[in-house]
Copies of this chain bind each other. A is one copy, B any other.
Amino acid sequence: MNFDTSEEQELLQETIAQFVANECPATRVREIFDGDTGHDPAFWKGLMELGLGGLVVPERFGGAGLEVIDLALATETLAYGGAPGPFFAHSLAALAIALGGSDAQCERWLPRLASGEALASVAFAEADGCWQPEEWQLAPGLKVSGAKHFVPSAELADLFVVGTAGGGLALVAAGEGVSVEAYEGVDRVRRMGTLRLDAAPAEVLGDAALAARVRDAACVLLAADAFGTAQRLLDMAVDYAKQREQFGVTIGHFQALKHQLADMAVEIEPARGLYWYAAHAFDHVPEDSARYAALAKAHISERAMQLGRDAVEAHGGIGFTWECDVQIWFKRAMLDRAWLGTPDVHRARAADLAGW
């Protein structure tokens, strides 16, 4: 048994961490957060040059041919660094095509997605919180019409993987019949928009099982993102406790705060194992795949949100200000928690999938 990251995986995480530290340190994250686009083209280009656009794209289409576990590890590291931009949605769209695309579709899109030449996103949510494939209503066909909400980086994307009624997926390229209305999300480094389709040309992507599979991958990646986010929030709170002084000592001396920080750590640390196994199950244990994905998304995004609240409190008044970086990760946790459905939705799914 070796339930641990390989040397290659550790190198991947280190490389990304180093790249983020150099190219997008907290000061730069802050600039993007306070800016208007939630995107840093140069940083994105750098990520693509590192090969992160094609982690799960097969090698014959210009990718690294890795697995969802690798994508999840990369996601965790990027989230820890507060990386802005479309990584999550782009990777998920590429994964959808890699998993279910026809040869023609793969050939057409995957090399460009892997290289970063094209940017893709996923369009799942319909009105009133209908996120799950079973709930989608948008009619499939060669021309599709309707609205999809909370589409990440909708303004930037060249291609959308769009969920359709009956739990199908379609490929829709930006252009004819496609318009986007962007809005400011609470997470200002990952903007979203509503995708409006008006007889937009579409191609069916994959078979009936694909959408559910992509949803499971999305759960895993959101869990990984939330885990990295929570780790950062914890570390910020701990670091602050070691620096800030009150009554002549650093506040980490106060047992009450020390214990709160310990409780925060206990809440999140072991969850690394949960998202790892959910990713591993996605790749290798089909019977556990959907269930652990749901469990990981529910559990870790809930923990990250609470850790955000705790981290704000641990910072005292300063934690509540716009200037304090805590809010950046706090709001990242808000998105990870709500996107694709709140934790109670996925707990209910996990219970069903457990056969209870």
Enumerate chain A interface residues (CB-CB to B < 8 A): 254-256, 258-259
CA distance A254 to B254 in the complex (A): 9
CA distance A258 to B259 in the complex (A): 12
Measured CB to CB, the nearest residue on chain B to A254 is B255
6 closest Cβ pairs, A-B complex? A255-B255, A255-B256, A256-B259, A256-B256, A254-B255, A256-B258
CA distance A258 to B258 in the complex (A): 14
Q: Give the chain B neighbours of A259 by CB distance below 8 A.
A: 256
CA distance A205 to B259 in the complex (A): 57
Measured CB to CB, the nearest residue on chain B to A253 is B255
User: Smallest Cβ distance from A233 to chain B, in angstroms?
Assistant: 21
Measured CB to CB, the nearest residue on chain B to A262 is B256
**Can you list 6 residue pairs at the A/B interface with Cβ under 8 Å?**
A254-B255, A255-B255, A255-B256, A256-B256, A256-B258, A256-B259
User: Smallest Cβ distance from A260 to chain B, in angstroms?
Assistant: 9
User: Smallest Cβ distance from A315 to chain B, in angstroms?
Assistant: 18
CA distance A254 to B256 in the complex (A): 8
User: Smallest Cβ distance from A256 to chain B, in angstroms?
Assistant: 4
Q: Give the chain B neighbours of A254 by CB distance below 8 A.
A: 255
CA distance A153 to B255 in the complex (A): 47
Q: Give the chain B neighbours of A258 by CB distance below 8 A.
A: 256
CA distance A175 to B259 in the complex (A): 60
User: Smallest Cβ distance from A264 to chain B, in angstroms?
Assistant: 14
CA distance A255 to B257 in the complex (A): 9
User: Smallest Cβ distance from A246 to chain B, in angstroms?
Assistant: 13
CA distance A256 to B259 in the complex (A): 7
User: Smallest Cβ distance from A272 to chain B, in angstroms?
Assistant: 26
User: Smallest Cβ distance from A313 to chain B, in angstroms?
Assistant: 13
CA distance A255 to B255 in the complex (A): 6
CA distance A234 to B258 in the complex (A): 24
Q: Give the chain B neighbours of A256 by CB distance below 8 A.
A: 255-256, 258-259
CA distance A258 to B255 in the complex (A): 10
Q: Give the chain B neighbours of A255 by CB distance below 8 A.
A: 254-256
User: Smallest Cβ distance from A302 to chain B, in angstroms?
Assistant: 21
CA distance A254 to B257 in the complex (A): 12
CA distance A258 to B256 in the complex (A): 9
CA distance A327 to B163 in the complex (A): 57
CA distance A129 to B254 in the complex (A): 47
User: Smallest Cβ distance from A337 to chain B, in angstroms?
Assistant: 25
CA distance A256 to B256 in the complex (A): 4
User: Smallest Cβ distance from A252 to chain B, in angstroms?
Assistant: 12
